[in-house]
Amino acid sequence: MMTSVFLDYNTIGPEELDSAPLKKCLPGLKLFDSTSPEEVPNRVKNAEFILTNKVKLFEGNLKTAEKLKFIGLTATGADNIDLDYAKSRNIRVCNIQAYCTQSVVEHVFGSILNLTHNIYEYQNLVQNGAWQKSDDFCMLQYPIRELSSMTIGIIGYGELGRNVAKMARTFNMQVLVNTRSKNKRNKYEKHVSLQNLLKNSDVVSLHCPLTDETKHLISNQELGLMKPNSILINTARGALIESKALFDALIKNKISGAAIDVLPEEPPTEGNVLLDYKGRNLFLTPHIAWGTIKARQNAINQLANAILAFKNNESFNVLV
């Protein structure tokens, strides 16, 4: 029987999911809740198939895996895999694609609605007894902004960016797009420079990859261009935003709010300045935008399809 391992199964919240698709195509699959860097070489040394989400795999810890044929990722990004080394050894590497689109889109607009309708502030009023003492049937102490009067700026126009734009149109929002890609543009979106987008958007949502060029894409200068009543959303990669710059912008009311689902280091064991922010106009969540039950099951199902395709000498979501 072939040897196969899933090195960090807990990262996809397995209690709610059906692992049968993976076990059907990989009988005897060994599931590890997590795997430390020190444990990798021993756990992969006899493996033909390695499945992982975030464990780093490179020449140093893969050279013991002499039988290795396949690396499967329950993620779209492959920055934790040494693709050059995999290619040199003829190891197939597959990812998953468009598996969590709806989950991320819903998170983005849930965040936008919470901030534009001041849900947290109004809930706080009720919890503190203010409504119970009010002279009027309703309370309108905080502004409630309608999305149809707003412009959303989307940075990055891949699968997620396009679908955020699609949802924005259902709210009758104006859409501005900044992207390096010239493909898949349509009449509903106006493609503009980053500076133009930041100056003219009521909501800025990040959906671009993290590269050397995009690291700290949003810092002091960029935040200074944004409207004082604008909102910043990041469900992409934490290092796209310089955390201290965002902290300062919120403290100084340069922007009205932010919803941040990702940080440069995850988990933030060394801390992060945004963790110390006490204002109620920052929603900081632990990288959950992708994580609906359906999206995570999609991840398992897609990975199983990639394994079956490999066994049948076919291609499916192939990176290498």
User: Would you name the residues annotated as active-site residues?
Assistant: 237, 266, 287
* Selection from 17, 36, 136, 115 nearest residue 74 by Cα: 17
Q: Which two tokens stand for residue 310?
A: 């490999």
Computed on alpha carbons and rounded to an integer, the radius of gyration of the chain in Å comes to: 22
Q: Cα–Cα distances in Å, from 39 out to 7, 43, 61? A: 10, 6, 9
Q: How far is CA 166 from CA 64, 147, 185, 188, in A?
A: 47, 14, 12, 9
Count of other CB atoms within 10 angstroms of residue 239:
17
Closest C-alpha among 232, 50, 47 to residue 155:
232
- 3-state DSSP assignment of residue 151: strand
b/e map of 68-92 (b: 16 or more CB within 10 Å)?
bbbbbbbbbebeebbbebbeeeebb
φ/ψ (deg, to 5) at 263? -125, 160
* Among candidate residues 104, 12, 4, the one with its CA nearest the CA of residue 54: 12
Secondary element (H or E) of residue 165: helix 159-170
Q: Please give the helix or strand (H or E) that residue 301 lies within, else none.
A: helix 293-311
CA distance 196 to 174: 14
